[in-house]
Amino acid sequence: MTEQYHMNSHEGTYTREFEAKVEATFPGIIELDKTAFYPLGGGQPSDIGTITWNEGDANVTDVRKKNRIRHIVEGDLPEVGDSIKGNLDWSRRYSHMRMHTSQHLVSAVVNEIYGSDTVGNQIGNEKSRIDFKPLKINQTELNEVEDKVNDYISKDLKVTISEELRSNLENNPDIRSSMSSGLWKMLPKSVTELRVITIGDIDVCPCAGTHVKSLKEIGNVSFIKRDNKGSEKLRLTYNLGDIDS
């Protein structure tokens, strides 16, 4: 297993550069003992960036999770045991963190008002989308969702990362019944602890993605599209306003 920086702390999540050791290589693939590169998963695209070492360098074009994390690369290949430096494309990754955290927030607000489940999501740099079921709302109602989301952002609720016992999460009415929770329920019974992302006192959700540490980093959520996908499914697409910092 490759240790992943983002899993246990905000500090780890905000790692842009790191050092690691090469554990294995295959043509076009580098595997490390630890990594800050996020692998594709949970609706969040993989990170991209570079891996450099004394004698060479490679561009990381994709990252996938097998047993270890596989960095898909173009360029040179290091030797097993080499020390490397990893560098993330931070503007892309930080957008994903802001977008992913707003996905939890939007899902929580829609669930709070309409009781709808999140049944799919796709995080992007420029825009993201969430599928809800069952959900049927008009533009005025969508504006109210947007206001409530942005009201929570202005309150700057804290985001926390924790490990929770699966037995405390299962059949707990406070846990959002989302795609994430649908997926975690399919994990083998041997998995007894789960990584959980909590937003203030409004949302608790098992998730392995990357998130910002406070809601104010999101900026402002604007819904740009509302698509009826049939059988009571509604797709909401949003983008984020600029942030000051």
Q: Residue 165 — φ and ψ, nearest 5°?
A: -70, 130
CB nearer to Zn ion: pick between 20 and 161: 161
CB nearer to Zn ion: pick between 59 and 198: 198
CB nearer to Zn ion: pick between 2 and 181: 181
Contact 3, 86 (CB under 8 A): no
Return residues touching Zn ion (CB under 5 A): 100, 207, 209
User: What is the closest distance, in whole angstroms, from the C-beta atom of residue 42 to Zn ion in the complex?
Assistant: 6
User: What is the closest distance, in whole angstroms, from the C-beta atom of residue 123 to Zn ion in the complex?
Assistant: 9
Token code pair at residue 202: 């409004």
CB nearer to Zn ion: pick between 11 and 19: 11
User: What is the closest distance, in whole angstroms, from the C-beta atom of residue 70 to Zn ion in the complex?
Assistant: 22
CB nearer to Zn ion: pick between 176 and 235: 176
CB nearer to Zn ion: pick between 142 and 183: 183
Residue number closest to Zn ion, CB atom: 207
User: What is the closest distance, in whole angstroms, from the C-beta atom of residue 100 to Zn ion in the complex?
Assistant: 5
| Per-residue H/E/C for the chain | CCEEHHHCCHHHHCCCEEEEEEEEEECCEEEECEECCCCCECCECCCCEEEEECCEEEEEEEEEECCCEEEEEEECCCCCCCEEEEEECHHHHHHHHHHHHHHHHHHHHHHHHHCCEEEEEECCCCCEEEEEECCCCCHHHHHHHHHHHHHHHHCCCEEEEEEEEHHHHCCCCCCCCCHHHHHHCCCCCCCCEEEEEEECCCEEEECCCCCCCEHHHHCCEEEEEEEECCCCCEEEEEEECCCCC
User: What is the closest distance, in whole angstroms, from the C-beta atom of residue 210 to Zn ion in the complex?
Assistant: 8
User: What is the closest distance, in whole angstroms, from the C-beta atom of residue 102 to Zn ion in the complex?
Assistant: 10
